[in-house]
Amino acid sequence: MDTAISLAVRLAGLEFKNPVLTASGTFGYGLEFVEILDLSRLGGLVTKGLSVEPMDGNPPPRIVETHGGMLNSIGLQNIGARAFVRDKLPVLRGYDTHVITNIFGFSIDDYLEVVRILNDGDGISAYELNISCPNVKKGGMEIGHDPAEAARLTEKVKRIARCPVLVKLSPNTSSITEVAQSVEAAGADGLSVINTLLGMSVDIYRRRSRMGTAMGGLSGPAIKPIALRMVRAVAQTVRIPVLGIGGIASWQDAVEFLIAGATAIQIGTANYYEPRVSIHVIDGLAAYLRDMEMSSVQELIGSFQD
């Protein structure tokens, strides 16, 4: 990488060496990739979603390939917040990258308990709230669909969190910008846009879902145009930084999201078939800036021309 070119970005009060992060649910806890790539080259990594207690997840099959993407119904399988702090975090501290923990719960109290557990860990840079999980106290409605409920969760987490709070927004809502504005007003330090889209796949011979559940989350290149549109809309609506997510599989994809207004990006599904994709994106982004005679990635962010 050309040392004259700066890939550094500032997000939620944190300095990132570059704007390339890995997305939750696609990169494990980061340590699974240490023999494949140098984690210290990443701007940051986002862990699998963490809950208060360990979860086994949904019955298999959990992943189905689709045209231009995949459906997943992992069911938020994870080792639990306490085990992460005890077993994973001490090792992650040995790498020069930001560790962002994705957290979820089935009620606001669940989220708060996860945050309290993680607050005791040393080496976490930020929390990412997954607000697309069922809130059983509201009859299964997703918190991410309700701007007021999303704001209430954000405000309560901010009161106790010892590090910045990002909120991961659901695209499965009538107005993502309304939710974005609500959580910004509640104190969110940044927004991750977007989570997966609800979809399904049917086995025509068994006449049932190809997965162990009826529906799953659609990700991959198929959702990129939708994600770009939503990143652009949210970035125009709020003042806090936006992390773009959705179908990024190349440096060209990353550049599109940055131009659309994302301060940083997260790579998800592409990690499954090209585990070193994030390194290729970092190198490609630097080469692009050099070719465009730009000295900093800051010149690119939000440069979309109407």
Cα angle, residue 117 at apex, residues 111 and 121 outer, rounded to 5°: 130
Pairing of strands 202-203, 208-209: antiparallel
Annotated catalytic residues are 133
Tokens 């606001």 — which residue? Answer: 108
| DSSP label of 145 | G
For a pLDDT cut of 70, what percent of the chain falls above it? 96
Task: Among 3.20.20.70, 3.40.50.10540, 3.50.50.60, 3.40.50.300, name the CATH number for the domain at 9-299.
Answer: 3.20.20.70
CB 184 within 8 A of CB 238: yes
Number of Cβ atoms within 10 Å of the Cβ of 19: 29
Tokens for 170? 């659901």
Could you give the CA distance from residue 265 to residue 256 in angstroms, rounded to a whole number?
Answer: 10
> Which amino acid does the sequence have at 114?
V
What pLDDT, in 10s, does the model give residues 247-295? 999 999 999 999 999 999 999 999 999 999 999 999 999 999 999 999 9
CB 247 within 8 A of CB 223: yes
Q: What is the mean pLDDT of the chain?
A: 95
> Which amino acid does the sequence have at 185?
A
> Which amino acid does the sequence have at 209?
S
Three-class secondary structure of residue 28 per DSSP: coil
pTM above 0.75, yes or no: yes
